[in-house]
């Protein structure tokens, strides 16, 4: 890759850059996947010299061997830093443009990527300054933004309208880091690369599907921020909707970005808005042993907060393939374990010949311990005809010797550099997903009679959860 490329990291001193972006960029460099001419510019109000910036990056990446140390030194030769003067208007952005121009040799084109690891409330103002001062006239320009993309349908549409005059849809890369995860990228291969699954992938064979993302930690001092967001906006409207879209979409004409995103948006438009009668919301309280605090024990959380830290809601897809199949969406904090998975339960067999059989289940474990497992019935060894549940297990770390599983941000940054938008969330997908969740959010937040059910830190969730999911055919 010899294209002259620059990535400017706006918010270079923040947590996202430290925890995700610097490690991802360094790993791409180590893999030899960055352009020989790619430069990295940190751009942030925090005052740092070049040496300070290098020390900051050094604290963020793995240097557990002399080889990694040498590679990091070479990586840093690509990096520089600009301290933003927030009181100087466009001056710092002009300095950023001049820095990028200094990397141009002769009349060559330069691709410019602006990663806005910034608070969403300044996306529009910063994007205007970037367009005005730093847009590449001879190459491609791109802004990369993180969720949340608005807090409901109206604000999301408004954000898009404000970005639209300066940045075309083809120049906006919207990050949902779940789309970069290895097992999420594997869903389409499982579906469309294995005819045995394709033949069963409909309401005639599937009883229900549960898509869940749970965490065993609470808000960990971020209660003040989380209280304005809640679990539905934080996880369900974005991550779980992307998993649902990949699970339910029709076969695209190709794996091109346009075809993939079109099919995802098309199936999301067929999902009616979620309703409170099909929803169970909860909020964690202190653990039974008193060791772990409750949500409202955070000093930054109001005592009367009704913010949901847990939610399970049931969605349907109104088309012939999925008619009547409940999609049980579940997410929560401070639960018994951290895991993300898609659990597909097939319909029961007839009892005419075999007794005591279990649902066949296909389980796609996204994290941790990436795996695909198929639960099925078999004859128990012996002289009697008795059934036993058995399992075909493809756990990556057990099946593939020393699997090289890249971090999600490595995959997404590489796609952004290549101009591959297949794992960028389109405006159409975003609008469709907000239409599904906005009425539910407004009802839960606007109706003060609706209070989230309490559940103990470290538990399975609110009382009644098992009965709730069982009412939609789900069996453990």
- Segment holding 391, helix H or strand E: strand 387-395
Residues 398 and 304: their CA atoms lie apart, in Å, by: 48
368 upstream amide cis, omega within 30 of 0: yes
φ/ψ of residue 283, rounded to 5: -140, 130
**Residue 239 a catalytic site member:** yes
Residue with token string 């409330």: 121
Q: How many C-alpha atoms does 364 have within 13 Å on its Cβ side?
A: 23
Residues 61 and 448: their CA atoms lie apart, in Å, by: 46
Phi-psi region of 11 (alpha: psi -120 to 50; beta: other; left: phi over 0): left
Phi-psi region of 355 (alpha: psi -120 to 50; beta: other; left: phi over 0): beta
φ/ψ of residue 354, rounded to 5: -115, 140
Whether residue 209 contacts residue 246, with contact meaning beta carbons closer than 8 Å, is answered with: no
Residue with token string 């609470």: 218
Residues 132 and 140: their CA atoms lie apart, in Å, by: 15
Residues 6+ apart with CB under 8 A from 323: 203, 317
3-state secondary structure of 39: strand
Residues 21 and 50: their CA atoms lie apart, in Å, by: 18
The closest alpha carbon to 285, from 265, 267, 270, 305, belongs to: 305
Residues 6+ apart with CB under 8 A from 64: none
**Alpha-carbon dihedral sign for residues 87, 88, 89, 91:** negative
Q: Annotated catalytic residue: which of 56, 151, 177, 239? A: 239
Residues 292 and 308: their CA atoms lie apart, in Å, by: 18
Q: ∠ CA(284), CA(435), CA(331), 5° rounding?
A: 25
Active site residues: 239
């Amino acid at each position: 890759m010899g294209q002259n490329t620059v990535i400017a990291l706006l918010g270079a001193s923040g947590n996202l850059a430290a925890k995700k972006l610097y490690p991802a960029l360094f790993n791409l460099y180590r893999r030899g996947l960055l352009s020989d001419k790619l430069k990295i510019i940190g751009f942030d109000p925090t005052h740092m010299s070049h040496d300070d910036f290098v020390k900051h990056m050094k604290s963020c990446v793995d240097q557990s061997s002399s080889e990694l140390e040498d590679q990091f030194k070479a990586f840093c030769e690509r990096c520089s830093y600009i301290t933003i003067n927030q009181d100087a208007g466009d001056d710092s952005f002009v300095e950023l443009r001049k820095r990028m121009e200094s990397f141009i040799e002769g009349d060559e084109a330069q691709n410019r990527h602006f990663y806005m690891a910034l608070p969403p409330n300044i996306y529009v103002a910063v994007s205007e300054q970037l367009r005005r001062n730093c847009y590449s006239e001879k190459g491609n320009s791109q802004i990369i933004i993180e969720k949340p993309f608005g807090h409901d349908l109206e604000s999301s549409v408004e954000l898009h309208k404000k970005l639209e005059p300066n940045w075309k849809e083809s120049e906006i890369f919207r990050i949902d880091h779940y789309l970069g995860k290895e097992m999420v990228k594997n869903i389409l291969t499982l579906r469309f690369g294995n005819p045995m699954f394709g033949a069963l992938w409909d309401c005639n064979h599937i009883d229900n599907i549960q898509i869940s993302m749970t965490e065993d930690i609470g808000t960990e001092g971020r209660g003040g921020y989380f209280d304005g967001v809640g679990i539905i906006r934080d996880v369900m409207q974005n991550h779980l909707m992307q998993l649902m879209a990949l699970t339910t979409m029709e076969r695209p004409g190709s794996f091109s970005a346009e075809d993939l995103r079109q099919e995802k948006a098309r199936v999301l438009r067929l999902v009616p808005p979620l309703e409170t009668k099909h929803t169970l919301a909860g909020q964690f309280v202190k653990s039974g042993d008193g060791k772990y605090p409750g949500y409202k024990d955070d000093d930054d959380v109001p005592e009367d907060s009704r913010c949901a830290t847990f939610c399970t809601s049931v969605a349907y897809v109104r088309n012939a393939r999925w008619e009547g199949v409940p999609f049980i969406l579940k997410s929560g904090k401070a639960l018994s374990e951290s895991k993300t998975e898609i659990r597909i339960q097939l319909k029961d067999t007839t009892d005419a010949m075999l007794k005591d059989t279990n649902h066949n289940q296909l389980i796609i474990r996204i994290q941790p311990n990436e795996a695909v497992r198929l639960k099925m019935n078999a004859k128990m060894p012996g002289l009697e005809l008795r059934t036993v549940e058995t399992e075909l297990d493809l756990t990556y770390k057990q099946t593939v010797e020393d699997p090289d599983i890249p971090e999600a941000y490595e995959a997404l940054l590489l796609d952004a550099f290549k101009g591959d938008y297949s794992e960028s969330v389109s405006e159409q997908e975003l609008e469709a997903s907000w239409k599904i969740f906005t009425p539910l959010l407004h009802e839960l937040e606007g109706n003060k009679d609706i209070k989230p059910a309490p559940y103990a830190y470290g538990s399975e969730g609110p009382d009644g959860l098992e009965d709730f999911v069982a009412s939609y055919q789900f069996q453990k």
